[in-house]
């Protein structure tokens, strides 16, 4: 048996075999010239790239024209010398066959999987950063239409004071047809509508079903969707005032019923109700008493409505109270305000959050459903929040026409990751509220979208896909296709390729006498 030096590994032997199975013929002069130039570089430069370039060129000549290296007066010996130089130069002793025939081919296949996404993301799912010029023009138009000064627009109070609550104001702020406005009027008689002027500026009015418009302005289906009203979550999961609980160690305090903007797909539509309510001290005291009395509770979510509707003072009081309860270990704040009114994220708020985070970890949980909601302003808000809190996490809702395609969801996840936000959950839109049945997306469609992210975007930009049904239930497809004596057979979600993954040795695992125990 012949043994080979390590730079002539199996990959490289295969590569040589393929190359030299070609015919020796005269190549076209320009091909001969480019091979000669590549050879010259590979021999003179002490680098790996020129060697790779030469072998790639030879492989292309072999595959496209059937030419062997002999056609360029390149002997096997000469190429073996270059293969040796390549492996010797490489820090990880990668062989030329491994690099040219395997690694580059794998990268090539990977690149092809994102080609369509890269071509189409900015037209099919543009971010608010990409659209910033257009949004700034919208801002100018809305300011003029509503009579807002710069100071009004740039402050949270100004955003609330000039909030769009009725159809007449909506019509002034956004160029919508009389027909559309008449439809909206029919709904707002029954459901609350509120858009901040800032959020309204994200809408691209010339797009009929603009994804931000769909989220913020209610349409006829909300009334017309027939169906039996299913009691809202609050009715069967509230063991105490303001509290929702279905887990042993985690619960939520619905600290307000207000939001800066009301979503057309709001799961809490019943709780949000029809009018704003301010809760008294006694209300919060009862909720905190429940937590104090339940020593199992370690993770408390302050939600609403929108937790950042609360004043900095009130937030500080609630966070202080939670920090003083020994068994509370971590806290979360649920808010959409960084995308609906990023001006709310002021220095004083950040100090309150940072102080609480220094005592016990505080996470901010937000809801961003489209990349269009990430503008330079919301990105700054998230950057600052991510500095003050221990993490900023996103819970998106999968919604028809809003984010129900691979391109839209990949773009959402990558855009928010670049805006300091970690994708956490994607919810399949709930069946519990017939009001938004028209926005629901089939479970399988969502599964395909989330699965398509594996292997194509950063692992920490991939959310978990969840059904909300008395708790959050994962909807992921299993990647285990078979269980055998050799282990399990797994499927790679991005290519469909099956791999056998050997299991841990059961006997070895059962043996308690190991490592320090053993010696």
Q: What is the smallest separation between the CB atom of 174 and ligand SF4, expressed in angstroms?
A: 19
Report the residue number, 178 or 474, with the smaller CB distance to ligand PLP.
Answer: 474
> Can you spell out the DSSP letters for 86-147?
HHHHSTT---HHIIIIIIHHHHHHHHHHHHHHHHHHHHHS--TTTTHHHHHHHHHHHHHHHT
Q: Which residues face 196 on adjacent strands? A: none
Considering only 50, 218, 304, 463, the residue that binds ligand SF4 (CB under 6 A) is 304
- For position 454 contacting ligand PLP by CB under 6 A, the verdict is no
- For position 198 contacting ligand SF4 by CB under 6 A, the verdict is no
Considering only 9, 244, 306, 373, the residue that binds ligand SF4 (CB under 6 A) is 306
Rounded to whole angstroms, the Cα distance separating 446 from 482 reads: 24
Report the residue number, 254 or 379, with the smaller CB distance to ligand SF4.
Answer: 254
- For position 192 contacting ligand SF4 by CB under 6 A, the verdict is no
Could you give the strand order of the β-sheet that contains 422-428, starting from the edge strand earlier in sequence? 243-244, 250-254, 299-303, 330-334, 362-366, 391-398, 422-428, 464-468, 472-474
**Burial tier of 226 (Cβ tally within 10 Å: 0-12, 13-18, 19+):** exposed
Q: How, if at all, do strands 391-398 and 362-366 pair?
A: parallel
Q: Which of residues 323-382 bind ligand SF4 (CB under 6 A)?
A: 336, 367
SS3 337: helix
Stretch that binds ligand SF4, among 5-13, 39-47, 300-308, 511-519 (CB under 6 A): 300-308
For 191-252, the three-class secondary structure string (H helix, E strand, C coil) is CCCCECHHHHCCCCCCCCCCHHHHHHCCCCHHHHCCCCCCCCHHHHCCCECCEECCCCCEEE
Q: What is the smallest separation between the CB atom of 468 and ligand PLP, expressed in angstroms?
A: 7
The entry of ligand SF4, ligand PLP, none that residue 414 binds, CB within 5 to 8 Å by partner kind: none
DSSP H or E segment with residue 507: helix 506-510
Stretch that binds ligand SF4, among 98-106, 274-282, 303-311, 400-408 (CB under 6 A): 303-311
Report the residue number, 51 or 337, with the smaller CB distance to ligand SF4.
Answer: 337
SS3 451: helix
Give residues with Cβ within 8 angstroms of 440, minimum separation 6.
400, 428, 429, 431
- For position 410 contacting ligand SF4 by CB under 6 A, the verdict is no
Kindly write out the interface string for residues 109-138 of this chain, putting x where it contacts ligand PLP by CB under 6 A and - elsewhere: ------------------------------
340's torsion region: left (phi>0), alpha (psi -120 to 50) or beta?
alpha
DSSP summary character for residue 309: G
Q: What is the smallest separation between the CB atom of 245 and ligand PLP, expressed in angstroms?
A: 6
Stretch that binds ligand SF4, among 78-86, 122-130, 256-264, 274-282 (CB under 6 A): 256-264
C-beta separation of 424 from 252 below 8 A: no
Kindly write out the interface string for residues 231-250 of this chain, putting x where it contacts ligand PLP by CB under 6 A and - elsewhere: -------------xxxx--x
Work out the number of other CB atoms within 10 angstroms of the CB of residue 120: 15
With CB under 6 A, what is the number of residues at the site for ligand PLP? Answer: 9
Q: Which of residues 298-317 bind ligand PLP (CB under 6 A)?
A: 301
The entry of ligand SF4, ligand PLP, none that residue 268 binds, CB within 5 to 8 Å by partner kind: ligand SF4
Considering only 68, 71, 183, 252, the residue that binds ligand PLP (CB under 6 A) is 252
Q: What is the smallest separation between the CB atom of 401 and ligand PLP, expressed in angstroms?
A: 25
- For position 259 contacting ligand SF4 by CB under 6 A, the verdict is yes
List, in sequence order, every beta strand (DSSP E) within 348-494. Answer: 362-366, 391-398, 422-428, 464-468, 472-474, 480-484, 487-491
The entry of ligand SF4, ligand PLP, none that residue 251 binds, CB within 5 to 8 Å by partner kind: ligand PLP
In the complex, the residues that contact ligand SF4 under the rule CB under 6 A are 259, 262-263, 266, 268, 272, 304-306, 336, 367
Binding site for ligand PLP (CB under 6 A): 244-247, 250-252, 301, 472
């Amino acid at each position: 048996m012949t043994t080979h030096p390590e730079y002539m590994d199996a990959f490289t032997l295969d590569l040589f075999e393929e190359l030299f199975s070609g015919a020796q013929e005269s190549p076209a002069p320009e091909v001969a010239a480019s091979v000669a130039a590549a050879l010259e570089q590979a021999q003179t430069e002490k680098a790996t790239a020129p060697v790779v370039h030469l072998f790639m060129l030879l492989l292309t000549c072999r595959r496209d024209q059937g030419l062997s290296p002999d056609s360029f007066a390149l002997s096997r010996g000469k190429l073996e010398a270059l293969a040796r130089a390549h492996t010797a130069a490489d820090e990880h002793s990668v062989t030329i066959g491994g690099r040219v025939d395997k690694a580059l081919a794998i990268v090539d296949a990977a690149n092809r999987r994102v080609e369509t996404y890269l071509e189409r993301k900015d037209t099919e799912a543009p971010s608010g950063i990409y659209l910033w010029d257009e949004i700034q023009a919208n801002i100018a138009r809305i300011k003029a239409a509503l009579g807002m000064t710069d100071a009004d627009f740039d402050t949270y109070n100004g955003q609330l004071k000039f909030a769009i609550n009725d159809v007449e104001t909506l019509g002034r702020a956004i160029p919508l047809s009389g027909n559309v406005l008449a439809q909206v009027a029919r709904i707002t008689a029954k459901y609350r509508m509120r858009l901040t002027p800032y959020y309204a500026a994200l809408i691209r009015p010339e797009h009929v079903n603009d994804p931000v418009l769909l989220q913020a302005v209610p349409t006829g289906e909300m009334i017309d969707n027939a169906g039996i009203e299913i009691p809202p979550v609050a009715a069967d999961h509230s063991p105490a005032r303001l509290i929702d609980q279905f887990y042993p160690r985690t619960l939520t305090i619905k600290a307000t019923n207000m939001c800066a903007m009301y979503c057309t797909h709001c799961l809490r539509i019943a709780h949000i109700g029809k009018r704003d309510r301010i809760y008294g001290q006694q209300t919060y005291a009862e909720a905190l008493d429940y937590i104090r009395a339940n020593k199992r509770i370690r993770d408390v979510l302050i939600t609403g409505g929108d937790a950042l509707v609360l004043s900095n003072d009130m937030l500080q009081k609630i966070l202080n109270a939670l920090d003083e309860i020994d068994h509370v270990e971590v806290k979360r704040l649920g808010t959409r305000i960084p995308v609906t009114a990023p001006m709310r994220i002021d220095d004083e708020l950040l100090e309150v959050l940072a102080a609480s985070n220094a005592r016990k970890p505080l996470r901010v949980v937000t809801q961003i459903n489209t990349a269009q909601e990430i503008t330079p302003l919301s990105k700054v808000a998230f950057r600052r929040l991510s500095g003050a809190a221990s993490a900023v996490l996103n819970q998106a809702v999968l919604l028809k026409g809003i984010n129900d395609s691979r391109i839209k969801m990949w773009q959402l996840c990558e855009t928010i990751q670049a805006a300091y936000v970690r994708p956490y959950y994607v919810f399949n839109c709930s069946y519990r509220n017939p009001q938004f049945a028209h926005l629901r997306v089939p479970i399988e469609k969502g599964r395909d979208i989330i699965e398509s992210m594996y292997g194509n975007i950063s692992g920490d930009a991939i959310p978990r896909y969840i059904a909300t049904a008395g708790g959050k239930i994962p909807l992921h497809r299993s990647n285990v296709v078979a269980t055998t004596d050799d282990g399990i057979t797994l499927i790679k979600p991005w290519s469909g390729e099956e791999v056998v993954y050997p299991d841990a040795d059961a006997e070895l695992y059962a043996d308690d006498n190991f490592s320090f125990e053993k010696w």
